[in-house]
Chain A
Amino acid sequence: MQNNKSKYQKMVEKSSPNTNLFLNCLNAFWSGGLICVIGQFITNSLLNFGCDLEISRTLTSIILIFIGILLTGFGIYDEIGKIAGAGSVVPITGFANSVAAPALEFKKEGFIFGVGAKMFIIAGPVIVYSTLTSVLVGIIYYLSK
């Protein structure tokens, strides 16, 4: 194994140093905004089909996650990320990419310690600390009821 860093991290580091902040922000703005508009379109379509709002939002996330992972499989999401920067990281598709990219990259190490373990290299901390925060929110909410 030549590198410990996932493709995902490298992709981001590449876009980090000494680049034009304004241009990066502009690209993050329109690309991130565009992904949200696509999400809004999916949500509105589901609402028109008669789904309720909560189900529509959940299905929108699932569909965007599916699209993000499919584009990761085709190697397209990395290309988008080179231009979009945070615009491709911050939407839910970025979370999907952070699971799918290391899972795919470490496939040759097998499906247990490669795909199965490495898919949580970034998603793991996300789940750990969001779970912790939700428990703290829950404790405060319960005590203040």
Chain B
Amino acid sequence: MDYLNAFWVGGVICVIGQILIDKTKITSARILVLFVVIGCILGGFDLYDKLISYAGAGAAVPLPGFGNLLANGVKEEIDSEGAIGILTGGLKAGAAGITAAVIFSLLNALIFDPKEK
């Protein structure tokens, strides 16, 4: 059942992105920014966690899940560390994803060469 929920919720989030790309002037680079920011706002209102508890990876894997991660991180950090958490919580929560993307991309660029077209 969790696979079915992950499939259709994740699919619907991608369809929203596809409609925005096809029907507006929003490019995919802007979709990335927009979806992460929306996820962060929804996370701020505790709404996105509800979607994750229903859809699991179907909500956690799309980019709003990353924004939600930052929002949760900020709140947890404020709870444990106080006001300084406003500045430290977000990126701390996103650190794994950002660091993984940077390091793997560096290794990738070391190993592979760009495809000639």
* A residues apposed to B, CB below 8 Å: 7-9, 12-13, 15-16, 19, 21, 24-25, 27-37, 39-44, 57-58, 60-62, 64-66, 69-70, 72-75, 85-87, 89-92, 94-96, 98-100, 103-105, 107-108, 111, 115, 119, 122-123, 125-127, 129-131, 133-142, 145
Identify which of A21, A60, A73, A99 gathers the most chain B CB atoms within 10 Å of its CB: A73
Alpha-carbon distance A8/B3, docked complex (angstroms):
29
Contact status of A33 and B27, CB under 8 A, knowing A44-B2, A99-B101, A130-B37: no
Nearest Cβ on chain B to A78's Cβ, whole angstroms: 8
Interface string of B59-89 (1 = CB under 8 A from A): 0111101110011011101100001011101
Nearest Cβ on chain B to A85's Cβ, whole angstroms: 5
The interface residues of chain B, by DSSP majority, are classed as: helix
The interface residues of chain A, by DSSP majority, are classed as: helix
Nearest Cβ on chain B to A124's Cβ, whole angstroms: 10
**Could you tell me if B57 and A9 are in contact, using CB atoms closer than 8 angstroms?**
no
Number of interface residues of B (CB under 8 A): 74
Contact status of A33 and B6, CB under 8 A, knowing A64-B61, A90-B14: yes
Contact status of A122 and B29, CB under 8 A, knowing A39-B60, A100-B105: yes
Q: Which of A16, A75, A95, A104 is in CB contact (< 8 Å) with B22?
A: A16
Contact status of A103 and B105, CB under 8 A, knowing A90-B63, A130-B66: yes
